[in-house]
Amino acid sequence: MKELDITKTHQQYEKFAPLWKRCRDVIEGSDAVKKERELYLKRLPGQSLEAYEHYIERATFFNITGKTLELYVSMIFSKAASIHGITEESPLIKDCDLLGTSLEEFLEEVTTEAIGLGRCGILIDYAGNIQTGMSLADAERQEARPYLVKYPAENITNWHLGRHDGKTVIDRVMLKERSNDNDEEDIGIQYRELLLIENIYTVRIWKKLGDQKEEQWRIDSTIIPLKSGKPIRIIPFYFIDPVCGGAECKKPPLLDLVDINLSHYRTMADLEHGRFHSGLPTPIFAGFNFQEGEKIKLGSTEGISSNIPEAKAYYLEFSGKGLEVLEKAAKQKEEWMIQLGAGLLDSYQRTREAAETIMLRRSGANATVGRIAMAVSESMTKALGFLCSWAGLEEKDVKVQLNTEYLPESMNAEEIKILLEAVQSGNYRRIDWLYRLKNAGILGQETKPEKIDEELERKASMIKRQNENIVAA
């Protein structure tokens, strides 16, 4: 296999890294967004640095994206995740990452990443000397056991898919991480390379040479993890995303909301800037022969006299028409954010929207969150399955199911009609409608909405072709 440049990043990484940063900053909130200065808020033409500092300081950032993320995560974890195949007394439940994080907390963390950035990864690692093929009893005495390691999207820098044993699998993953040693020369950064060498899982740790002016890396250690005394035939690394858990990068679910959130921020910056400069009237004196250093007093109890007939004094005030345009634009973008937030401000909108609109909005939110919960559940089931098999437990018994009971349990005929009409008019996605039917119990739990959607699309295309042939005939 051709060697990879350790610091070279995947083509998809290059494409998605700016998107991840944008999402990460907006989710974090005002301080993170303003810290990036002109990346998100350009300096006005001719604006001095000092004026720009005040411009950015006055700007209001309304973090609806972060609130939406919190809402989605709270919907999923309003009830505890269902975990089968692992007893509650197991250390895997109470401390799944050897850092004191419970499995429930870990699931919440990876779900947050899947919704916020659309991607993270989980490595199954083993604490202790795993090359000795020690018994489970010896492992327990030495507190050696498998555990989970979470990697955010930004730290999964490269990967490769290859054919092994007749299957397409991940055969190389490059992970950027902090070094465990305190070597100041490498600023605490190392690379962990996971790869299959002749179908054997191998780990290589790369560290930077500190005595070189140019960046150079060396292999610091090579590890061949063992499972029951035998080499492992797969890379125990699992991608978590809002769709299917594959290696391909997916669009962050909140990206559209992030972009409108930033646009709203820029509009508010202009609005506050305009208010600052036009909020107070400016006194104008014309025709007065004021002496140098003479103080001018203004107010209802003060007067100004002049012997010049043409002299006049007045206030210059802005009409505010430009501010009205900005205020209207800000309101419009807030409405867009509410729609993209898919239910975040339902309670706020309840008095202003029709019941059908509210139901459509909530159904869309539920379908979106439900699909993400199912995708994370599937990926985590695979990851925990391997972890448990490494710990000597039955892999086939392991299953993770995140809560989906926030989805409405029933639908009456009127609700079905409303949603169907919305689908037919193009105002509601058919796949979301199918998921809604499934979670309402109208479609069987074994039913795959994606398959039904594909079949409906195939039939629609066939009917269209038939009609075209009839017309042609």
Tokens 């040479």 map to which residue? 209
Residue 211, CA atoms < 13 Å, CB-side half-sphere: 0
Tokens 């086939």 map to which residue? 396
For residue 286, list its beta bridge partners. Answer: 312
Q: What is the mean pLDDT of residues 336-356?
A: 52
- Helix (H, G, I), strand (E, B), or coil: what is residue 468? helix
Q: What is the pLDDT of residue 310?
A: 67
Q: What stretches of 341-392 show up as alpha helix (H) in DSSP?
A: 346-349, 355-390
Structure pTM? 0.73
Q: 293: left (phi > 0), else alpha (psi -120 to 50), else beta?
A: left
Q: What is the mean pLDDT of residues 278-299?
A: 66
437 found inside a domain: yes
* Whole-angstrom distance, CA of residue 368 vs CA of residue 434: 12
* Whole-angstrom distance, CA of residue 258 vs CA of residue 436: 26
| Residues in contact with 235: Cβ distance below 8 Å, sequence separation at least 6, in sequence order | 169, 170, 171, 172, 173, 194, 195, 196, 201
416 found inside a domain: yes
With 50 as the cut, is the pLDDT of residue 352 above it? no
444 found inside a domain: yes
- Helix (H, G, I), strand (E, B), or coil: what is residue 360? helix
Q: What is the mean pLDDT of residues 328-349?
A: 66
* Whole-angstrom distance, CA of residue 83 vs CA of residue 469: 54
420 found inside a domain: yes
Q: What is the pLDDT of residue 411?
A: 65
Report which of 352, 347, 356 is spatially closest to residue 427, judged by C-alpha positions: 356
460 found inside a domain: yes
Of 17-21, 107-111, 282-286, least confident by mean pLDDT is 282-286
With 90 as the cut, is the pLDDT of residue 421 above it? no
With 90 as the cut, is the pLDDT of residue 156 above it? yes
Report which of 398, 376, 399 is spatially closest to residue 120, judged by C-alpha positions: 376
Greater confidence (462 vs 145) lies with 145
Tokens standing for residue 450 = 């994606």
463 found inside a domain: yes
With 50 as the cut, is the pLDDT of residue 342 above it? no
Greater confidence (75 vs 320) lies with 75
With 90 as the cut, is the pLDDT of residue 111 above it? yes
42 found inside a domain: no
Q: Alpha carbon of 50 to those of 53, 150, 193, 469: distances in Å?
A: 5, 42, 47, 69
Handedness of CA 180, 181, 187, 189 (dihedral sign): negative
> Is residue 254 within 8 Å of residue 320, measured between CB atoms?
no
Handedness of CA 390, 391, 392, 393 (dihedral sign): negative
> Is residue 76 within 8 Å of residue 403, measured between CB atoms?
yes
456 found inside a domain: yes
Domain that holds residue 423: 408-473
With 80 as the cut, is the pLDDT of residue 55 above it? yes
With 70 as the cut, is the pLDDT of residue 265 above it? yes
Total domain count, the chain: 1
Greater confidence (208 vs 309) lies with 208
Q: What is the pLDDT of residue 132?
A: 43
Q: 82: left (phi > 0), else alpha (psi -120 to 50), else beta?
A: beta
Indicate the average pLDDT of the chain: 80
108 alpha-carbon distance from chain centroid? 13
With 90 as the cut, is the pLDDT of residue 295 above it? no
Of 64-73, 245-254, 423-432, least confident by mean pLDDT is 423-432
Cβ count near 470 (within 10 Å): 8
Say what the alpha-carbon torsion angle 98, 233, 374, 90 is, to the nearest 10 degrees: -30
Q: What is the mean pLDDT of residues 57-81?
A: 88
Q: What is the pLDDT of residue 67?
A: 87
Q: What is the pLDDT of residue 415?
A: 72
Q: What DSSP designation does 131 have?
A: G
With 50 as the cut, is the pLDDT of residue 131 above it? no
pLDDT band at 113 (very low <50, low <70, confident <90, very high): very high
* Whole-angstrom distance, CA of residue 335 vs CA of residue 55: 25
Q: What is the mean pLDDT of residues 148-172?
A: 92
